[in-house]
Chains A and B, each alone.
Chain A
Amino acid sequence: MDEDADVVPPLVEMRGVTIRFPGVLALDGVDLVLRPGEVHALMGENGAGKSTLIKALTGVYAIDEGSITVAGERRTFGSTTDAQGAGISTVYQEVSLCTNLSVGENVMLGHEPRRRRGIDWRAVHIEAARHLQSLGVELDTRSALSSHSIAVQQLVAISRAMVLDAQVLILDEPTSSLDRDEVERLFAVIRDLRDKGVAILFVSHFLDQVYEIAERITVLRNGALVGEFRVEELPRAALVAKMIGRAMEDLEAISSSSERTIDRTRPPVLRATGLGRRGALAPADIDVYQGEVVGIAGLLGSGRTELVRLIYGADRADTGELEINGVAVRLTSPRHALAHQIAFSSEDRRAEGIIADLTIAENIVLGIQAQRGWRRKVRRAEQDEVVEDYMSALGIRPSDPTLLAGNLSGGNQQKVVLARWLATAPALIILDEPTRGIDIGAKADIQRKVSELSAQGLAVIFISSELEEVLRLAQRVVVMRDRRQIGQLESSDLDVDRLIEYMADSSEGNVA
């Protein structure tokens, strides 16, 4: 049974935490227990209450009911400083450091060693280096933080948490922007801290990683606690079922898509040969036929997004040729691509997709409107029809088209962006990470839609970090690594493990 629960007293105990916002019950009597020397994962779909719970623990939100106990002492946090004072530190998904300052300064900011005359910079850098080293990180502390990758910045953030003598470290979606090697490095640091007795709360939606690093899992759904489980007692399918309240079979049902046969006798909808851009991508080839889904697989930073941006004209290519339906073209801008019926859904839906202060309707119609030019306004009646069609086809919620798009959840925002592109009746649609960071329900909806549309003749290029997703939907898979294309495979010849092997190949040696 749970022997440790008796031996090791919990460091943090949140009991019956309830938080109400006007009109919404965000958390309903939720418990969370963090023990020292343990990695605890917090899981749930978007909207489950994970970030609200964390904000309650870090002092951002006040709680309406319930209690928070840290190291045996009952606490109320009125601000983030209070929580920090209690030994709770957080490393956020978007690294919250000051990139304009040096590494050393970031580590010590607010706690710089001082002499009578002011901050002692030499001591600052010595201290910072020491803290970094205790995590096994060697950096030039005088270098600007901005000159380092996100992965390194994250390690600096963790290091800072240790300066503050954190006993509880909360990692909020820390691996979203990291590649495989960087994840390994991060996990090494996490294990290290765990062995030193820090209680670690790991929030992530990457199931594999959770199973790799965590010992216990707390699952939330719709603001309520589903339960706390030990990792070895909870198989993946069961975890997913608890998170979404329905079985994983739903997702499996979409699997038939990749097994369709494609007619490749006519010219492809798009063929790119030798498409490249200096500093971004080595010349690559890709072609897509009508009704086909071509997946692009590769680690973060392998050049997938760069490739599709070149196809779409979002970036200018230095080399290469493009043929659309057999006719040579040069795509110099997104407008140009749209005119050729190519649509592109960016991976960063907030910065490059959704226009937050426009309504859902205006967002959906934007693509069509841009196509027609500013002089010919889309008539109200036509707008209403198009919007209604797509909102019901994609299941966009809430169903009021006059709501501002910025207020929707991630999954619904993605659907709105998808609707915008589909409404322009493209011949080819490029989807870059369309299901990243969205809940399983929406994920299934989008995958199903893509499958349907390709069966109806739409050509699709599909990028995803989740290899099962790629294999489920695509007939062919283009594999990228380190900004170059390394091959093209039929998905029927692949399963996830073999794809990973292919991606890693021999030169790099070890692959997780």
Chain B
Amino acid sequence: MTTVVTADNRRTSSAQQVRTFVSRHASVMPTLAAVAVFVLLLVGAQAYFGNFLTPRNMSALLLDNAYLLILAVGMTFVILTAGIDLSVGSVMALTGILCAKLLADGLPAAVVVPATILVGSLIGALIGLLVQYFDVQPFIASLAGLFLARGLAFVVSLDSIRVEATSVLSLQTTRFRFGTGWYITPTGIMALLVVAIGALVLLYTRFGRTVYAVGGSEQSARLMGLNAARTKILVYVISGTCAGLAGLVLTAYSGAGYPRNGIGTELDVIAAVVIGGTLLSGGTGYVLGSMIGVFVYGTIKTVISFLGAEQSWTRIIVGLLLLLFIVIQRFIVFRSERPR
């Protein structure tokens, strides 16, 4: 029997060790870059304002962006399979206004909350079916979802509806204080839970690994015996469910449902996920990275408002940051494509 030894483990010089590290963890690099940016932002803001890194501000960072965090987890699943979901902002608006309306109509929160989340899941399932069974491109299928959800949101109500139900409002108003000035609300806990569940599923379940496999090569995944079809549908259901949950969170946060919510939010989510190190081509990325991406977005937003500048600067800067990340990713990919 011949022993085939590859160059990988013949020498273990330090250069070799670096190479081993890189070859094992190449896909984490973009996320590490995002962490670096986040840290830089925080340090820079602290240096500039002097009172940026306070427990109060950091807590607010999480809570003000809880809805975005939840959306980002769902979007990560979808983008990992090389898909995209443009409907999340509209679905969030739909479930938000639906929740507000049902509560205003007197239905108990215990019924309303699951129902509204379910609506999100159903729209996600519709998109997933279009993508998987009818070979519709994710772009177009989620576009249909966007249209559908946005229109339905206005069907539910043309104007905003206030939420009086304390059970729902308390999700946002209840504060658990700890440490010196840190606080968190149930919505924040929900967001962190979603992140944790997402990360665990992707790392430790067969379904999660199938998501990565499908993103790497759908044909290969299928040939390897994985159930690519079911996975592809499920990621859209997950995204829709997250959108439903985000709608609930946003409604609790603002105290009202508003059919015009979430216009353009899907772009913010995609930007956050990409900045967080998930490649649009699929197969590479982490939920924790998307979380960092959301925090980067949130920090920029906070800095802008601290500066007293127009909020429109947030989108501009996020856009440019996204561009910077893409260009860097491009050059890294360029380099690795070299040897032919």
Touch A–B, Cβ below 8 Å: yes
A99 with B26: CB separation less than 8 A:
no
Is B11 in the interface zone, CB < 8 Å from A? no
A98-B200 in contact given A136-B1, A138-B3 (Cβ < 8 Å): no
A213 CB within 8 Å of chain B: no
Is the C-beta of B175 less than 8 angstroms from some C-beta in chain A? no
Number of interface residues of B (CB under 8 A): 37
For A185, the closest partner residue in chain B by CB is B4
Interface string of B215-226 (1 = CB under 8 A from A): 111011111111
B:222-241 near A, CB below 8 Å: 222-226
Q: Is B312 part of the binding interface, using a Cβ–Cβ cutoff of 8 Å? A: no
Report yes or no: B27 in contact with A144, Cβ–Cβ below 8 A: yes
* Cα separation A401 to B20 with both chains bound (whole Å): 53
Which of B99-107, B146-154, B206-214 lies at the interface? B206-214
Assembly CA distance A189 to B223 (angstroms): 22
Closest to A102 in B: B24
Interface string of B277-308 (1 = CB under 8 A from A): 00000011000000000000000000000000
Nearest 9 interchain pairs by C-beta? A118-B204, A98-B216, A100-B283, A100-B216, A147-B23, A96-B220, A143-B23, A188-B2, A98-B213
A139 part of interface (Cβ distance < 8 Å): yes
Which residues of the partner chain B approach A192 to less than 8 Å between Cβ atoms?
1-2
- B216 near A101 (CB under 8 angstroms)? yes
Residue with the highest number of chain B CB atoms closer than 10 Å, among A118, A155, A164: A118
Q: Are B283 and A138 in contact (CB under 8 A)?
A: no
**Which residues in window 134-174 of A have CB below 8 A to B?**
135-140, 142-144, 146-148, 152, 155, 160, 164
Q: Is B339 among interface residues, defined by CB-CB distance under 8 A?
A: yes
A–B Cβ pairs within 8 angstroms, 24 of them:
A92-B223, A96-B217, A96-B219, A96-B224, A97-B220, A97-B224, A98-B212, A98-B220, A98-B224, A99-B216, A99-B217, A110-B206, A119-B206, A135-B4, A136-B3, A136-B4, A137-B4, A138-B4, A138-B9, A140-B24, A143-B8, A144-B24, A185-B2, A305-B340
Q: Which residues of B have CB within 8 Å of A143?
A: 8, 20, 23-24
Asked if A306 is an interface residue, CB under 8 A from chain B, the answer is yes
Check B205 for interface membership: any CB of A closer than 8 A.
Answer: yes
* Interface membership of A23, Cβ < 8 A: no
A292-326 contact mask (Cβ, 8 Å, vs B): 1 or 0: 00000000000001100000000000000000000
Interface members, chain B 19-64 (any A CB < 8 Å): 20, 23-24, 26-27
Q: Which of B200, B219, B220, B226 counts the most chain A CB atoms within 10 A?
A: B220
Q: Does A81 contact B (CB under 8 A)?
A: yes
Q: Is A341 an interface residue (CB 8 A)?
A: no
Q: B223, A140: Cβ atoms under 8 Å?
A: no
A90, A101, A188 — most chain B CB neighbours (10 Å)? A101
CA–CA, A280 and B339, complex, Å? 7
Q: Which residues of B contact A189 (CB under 8 A)?
A: 4
- Interface positions of B from 51 to 79, Cβ below 8 Å from A: none
Is B203 interfacial (CB-CB < 8 Å)? yes
Kindly supply a per-residue 1/0 record for chain B positions 191-211, scoring 1 wherever the CB is within 8 Å of any chain A CB and 0 otherwise.
000000000100111100100
Partner of A279, one of B206, B284, B338: B338
In the assembled complex, the CB of B130 is this many whole angstroms from the nearest CB of chain A, namely: 23
Task: State whether A96 and B223 are in contact (beta carbons under 8 Å apart), knowing that A136-B3, A188-B2, A188-B4 are contacts in the complex.
Answer: yes
Q: For A185, list chain B residues within 8 Å (CB).
A: 2, 4
Contact partners of A136 in chain B: CB under 8 A: 1-4
Closest Cβ of chain B: how far from A306's Cβ, in Å?
7
Q: Are B23 and A140 in contact (CB under 8 A)?
A: yes
| CB-contact partner of A80 in B8, B24, B225, B338, under 8 A | B225
CA distance A305 to B339 in the complex (A): 12
Q: CB of A112 within 8 A of chain B?
A: yes
Binary interface encoding of chain A residues 81-92 relative to chain B, with 1 for a CB under 8 A from any of its CBs, else 0: 100100000101
* A432 close to B (CB within 8 Å): no
* Contact residues, A101-115 vs B (CB, 8 A): 101-102, 105, 109-110, 112
Q: Judge whether B316 is part of the interface by a CB distance below 8 angstroms.
A: no
Determine whether A375 belongs to the interface, using a CB cutoff of 8 Å to chain B.
Answer: no
Minimal beta-carbon separation of A244 from chain B (angstroms): 31
Q: B66 to chain A: closest CB distance in Å?
A: 26
> In whole angstroms, how far apart are the Cα atoms of A135 and B216 in the complex?
26
Q: Could you tell me if A144 and B23 are in contact, using CB atoms closer than 8 angstroms?
A: yes
- A117: interface (CB < 8 Å): yes
Say whether B205 contacts A142, CB under 8 Å. no
* Of A97, A100, A143, A188, most B-chain CB atoms within 10 Å: A100
**B13 at the binding interface (Cβ < 8 Å):** no
Interface size class of A (residues with CB under 8 A): 35 or more
Does B14 lie at the interface of the complex (its beta carbon under 8 Å from any beta carbon of A)?
A: no
User: What mask results when residues 158 to 201 of chain B are scored 1 for a CB within 8 Å of chain A, else 0?
Assistant: 00000000000000000000000000000000000000000010
Q: Which residues of A contact B226 (CB under 8 A)?
A: 109-110
Q: Please list the residues of chain A having a beta carbon within 8 angstroms of any beta carbon in chain B.
A: 80-81, 84, 90, 92, 96-102, 105, 109-110, 112, 117-119, 135-140, 142-144, 146-148, 152, 155, 160, 164, 185, 188-189, 192, 279-280, 305-306
- Check B204 against A117 for contact (C-beta < 8 Å): yes
Docked-complex contact A112 and B2, CB < 8 angstroms: no
Interchain nearest-CB distance for B220 vs A (Å)? 4
Task: Report the minimum CB–CB distance from A348 to chain B (whole Å).
Answer: 10
Give the CA-CA distance A97 to B217 in the complex, in Å.
Answer: 7
Cβ-defined contact, B206 with A98, below 8 A: no
Closest to A80 in B: B223
Q: Does B5 contact A (CB under 8 A)?
A: yes
The residue on B at minimum CB distance from A105 is: B209
Across the interface, do B20 and A140 meet the contact criterion of CB distance under 8 Å? Answer: yes
**Min C-beta distance of A200 to chain B, whole Å:** 16
Q: Which residues of B contact A155 (CB under 8 A)?
A: 4
Could you tell me the distance between the alpha carbons of A216 and B27 in the complex, rounded to whole angstroms?
45
Instruction: List residues of chain B with CB within 8 A of the CB of A135.
Output: 4
Q: A182: nearest residue on chain B (CB-CB)?
A: B4
- With A and B bound together, what is the CA distance between A135 and B226 in angstroms? 24
Chain A residue nearest in CB terms to B22: A147
| CB neighbours of A98 from chain B (8 A) | 212-213, 216-217, 220-221, 224, 283
- Docked pose: A109 CA to B231 CA in angstroms: 15
Closest to A120 in B: B204
- Nearest-Cβ distance from residue B170 to partner chain A, whole angstroms: 33
Contacting residues, chain A, for B23 (C-beta < 8 A): 140, 143-144, 147
- Given A140-B23, A142-B24, A160-B224, the answer on whether A279 and B339 have CB atoms closer than 8 Å is yes
Bound: A110/B210 CA distance, A: 8
Q: How far is the CA of A144 from the CA of B22 in the complex (A)?
A: 9
Chain A neighbourhood of B225, CB < 8 A? 80-81, 84, 110, 164
Which residue of chain A lies nearest to B283 when distances are taken between CB atoms in the complex?
A: A100
CB nearest to B222 among chain A residues: A80
| Choice from A84, A112, A144, A148 contacting B206 with Cβ under 8 Å | A112
User: From B215, which residue of chain A is reached at the shortest CB distance?
Assistant: A100
B213 CB contacts on chain A under 8 angstroms: 98, 101, 109
| Residues of B contacting A117 in the complex (Cβ-Cβ under 8 angstroms) | 204
Q: Which residue of B lies closest to A192 (CB)?
A: B1
Knowing A99-B217, A279-B338, say if A148 contacts B284 (CB, 8 Å).
no
Q: Are A139 and B216 in contact (CB under 8 A)?
A: no
Given the known A-B contacts A80-B222, A109-B226, are A148 and B6 also in contact in the complex, defined by CB atoms under 8 Å?
Answer: yes
Give the distance in Å from the alpha carbon of A147 to the alpha carbon of B217 in the complex. 16
